[in-house]
Amino acid sequence: MDKLTLIKVGGKIVEEEDSLYRLLADFAAIEGYKVLVHGGGRSATKLAGQLGIESRMVNGRRITDEDMLRVVTMVYGGLVNKNIVAGLQARGVNALGLTGADMNVIRSVKRPVKDVDYGFVGDVQCVDGALLADLIRKGLVPVMAPLTHDGKGSMLNTNADTIAGETAKALAVHFDVTLVYCFEKRGVLRDEADENSVIPVITPADFRHYVDEGVIQGGMIPKLENSFEAIAAGVREVIITSASAIDGRGGTVVRATAD
């Protein structure tokens, strides 16, 4: 199968001009089929603040009432997405900006209210991998905003890591997929204080071991659980790295087995 690289970058990287330009150049240089999934939370928080709308987060997720849905639709679907698309076009990448509503590419369901009412937040139900694969084979490069829709007329705010993972799984039927999660650190660290302590490879057995030992904790646990889930669903490998190394070199490779 043809190789495909799916890169997920967080808000900070795409929201500052210097790091955005570097990312665009690095992403343009990736050979073969590729997809970019972006965040934009900081810009959303900033615009909300300017409009007098309070940003409330629970378990790292944004509570999205009607006003906040308007803000994230503007920031993720408009400002951040279109600046990336225009920037990639200038670098010879035939980018197509997408939310889940466009071509019904990602349908979600509004998260049911349990302990917390997250509001207009979507849990992904279905990614149209065949449609995306068709566009990608035509030479288009999807640039996906962290927004989906409910099929009933409403946009839904949707976690970018989730979009990346679900899209990677849907594309794994059509391509040999490498999923790269970019974040602030160089990879999964053995010692949080030491950037040079990147764990090069993590298998499920390693993971349990590191969690038991307390080496891996906090927000990294769901990130790795999602990574193993993606691999179980057919994604070849998941790389956790920093945005300054989106080719994955020097990061942590998450694999089903050690070899």
- Which residues contact its own copies (rule: CB under 8 A)? 47, 50-51, 70, 73-79, 81-83, 85-87, 89-91, 94-97, 99, 101-104, 140, 147, 149-155
Judged by CB, which is closer to its own copies: 125, or 197? 125
Judged by CB, which is closer to its own copies: 152, or 249? 152
Provide, rounded to whole angstroms, the least separation between the CB of residue 72 and its own copies. 9
DSSP 54: P
Provide, rounded to whole angstroms, the least separation between the CB of residue 116 and its own copies. 24
Contact present, 189 and 241 (Cβ < 8 Å): no
Provide, rounded to whole angstroms, the least separation between the CB of residue 6 and its own copies. 19
Judged by CB, which is closer to its own copies: 101, or 220? 101
Judged by CB, which is closer to its own copies: 105, or 240? 105
CA 153 to chain centre: 24
Provide, rounded to whole angstroms, the least separation between the CB of residue 82 and its own copies. 5
Other beta carbons less than 10 A from residue 131's beta carbon? 14
Q: Which of these, 133, 130, 124, 100, lies nearest to 34 by C-alpha position?
A: 133
Contact present, 110 and 122 (Cβ < 8 Å): yes
Provide, rounded to whole angstroms, the least separation between the CB of residue 11 and its own copies. 15
Judged by CB, which is closer to its own copies: 10, or 97? 97
- Distance between CA atoms of residues 68 and 196, nearest Å: 39
SS (H, E, C) 111-175: CCCCCCCCECEEEEEEECHHHHHHHHHCCCEEEECCEEECCCCCEEECCHHHHHHHHHHHHCCCC
